Amino acid sequence: MKNLITKYYKHIILIVFLFLLDILTKIFFKGKNIEIFKYFSFNYVENTGITFGLLKNNNLIFILITFVIVYLIIYYYKKEKKLQYGFDFVLAGAFGNLINRIFYGYVIDFIDFKIWPVFNLADMFVIIGVLIILYKSWKS
């Protein structure tokens, strides 16, 4: 175990940093609505669905799907070294939203561009991770 931590410490630090950043921002913006300007604000939303609020009230299914995704990423982590940073972002985002689902029964969203559904940092991390994975896969 110590050897694994030593081998992957940069990745572990990145995942933990991103996860904590997500959780801390969700705690900070919980229950707050702060308008920055006409097309951007921080609006607290309890999302019981997935992206864009689709498929509401299926929390248990989303928790199970998240566990499957985390398992698959961990399974491929050593095999796909070029994809590890993408996996890091996806894992951090998945853990952030998973913790919300387990403890609250919903995901806290708060970033609101008015022309797009409200989202959070974990959602951004998952998208960034998927883009990294797609780019690295396409490049090789």
pTM score over 0.75: yes
Structure tokens at 25: 């921002």
Cα–Cα distance, 109 to 46 (Å, whole number): 6
| Main-chain dihedrals φ then ψ at residue 124, nearest 5 degrees | -60, -40
Name the average pLDDT for the chain.
Answer: 92
Domain boundaries, the chain: 7-135
- Tokens 């019981």 belong to 48
First to last CA, the chain: 31
Out of 22, 88, 109, 112, pick the active-site residue: 109
Per annotation, catalytic residue among 22, 88, 112, 123: 123
pLDDT tens across 41-78, in order? 999 999 998 776 667 778 899 999 999 999 999 999 98
Active site residue 112: no
Torsion from C-alpha of 40, 100, 82, 6, nearest 10 degrees: 120
